[in-house]
Every structure is written in C-alpha cells, then in structure tokens.
C-alpha cells in the first residue's frame, strides 16, 4: 500500500464503463482505478489517456489487476481526507422530534 501519493500516467480510460488503468514507476504493476476514486469536483469523474495524475494505491485483486487506486487526483489538487475520522471533513445530522 502507498500512504504517500505517487505520480503516474493514465494508461487507458473507459468513460462508458467508469474505470481505467494507471501506471507509475512507483508501483510494481498497473493500477485499476474507478471513477469514484477520482477527485475532479464533478459527480462523474473522468480522466484522459496520457494525463498525468497523482494517486495512492493498495494491493488487491480487481478485475485482473493486482493493485487498485484509492485516491486519484490531478497534480495540485488536495488529498482526500482520511476515512478513519482523522483530521479532515466532518458532517453531522440532527433530527429532532416534537
């Protein structure tokens, strides 16, 4: 697993299916990426083949790939906040019944 982002390239991207493959010298193989892990500010993220990206990854069998992306962003975009409740974004919902 990569705690620190690596710089890589979009090897291929399938807009119609919402996934693609990333490559980087910092990863021992190709990395599968789903649109939901891409931070572009829109509801349906897309990338372009050949585009430079930064990403963190983990080991895990995904559609025949040994690695999968857990956060993908264009250079200069902020990192995704930790999922473990650490510093980052929070939200709260209160429901009051009378």
Task: Give 30-40 pLDDT, tens digit per residue.
Answer: 999 999 899 87
Question: What integer best gives the mean pLDDT of the chain?
Answer: 84
Closest CA relative to residue 39, chosen from 16, 84, 5, 85: 5
CA distance 83 to 98: 34
pLDDT at 42 over 90: no
Q: Count of alpha carbons within 13 Å of 84, Cβ hemisphere only?
A: 1
Share of the chain above pLDDT 90, in %: 57
**Beta carbons within 10 angstroms of residue 24's beta carbon:** 21
| Arithmetic mean of pLDDT, 15-20 | 93
Q: Does domain 1-98 have CATH number 3.40.50.2300?
A: no
Residue 27, classed as helix, strand or coil, is coil
């Amino acid at each position: 697993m990569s705690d620190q982002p690596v710089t890589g390239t979009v090897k291929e991207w399938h807009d119609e299916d919402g996934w693609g493959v990333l490559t980087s010298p910092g990863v021992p193989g190709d990395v599968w990426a789903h649109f939901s892990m891409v931070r572009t500010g829109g509801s349906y993220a897309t990338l372009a083949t050949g585009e430079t990206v930064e990403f963190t990854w983990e080991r895990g069998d995904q559609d025949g790939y040994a690695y999968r992306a857990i956060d993908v962003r264009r250079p200069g975009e902020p990192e995704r906040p930790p999922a473990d409740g650490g510093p980052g974004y929070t939200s709260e919902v209160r429901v009051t019944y009378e």
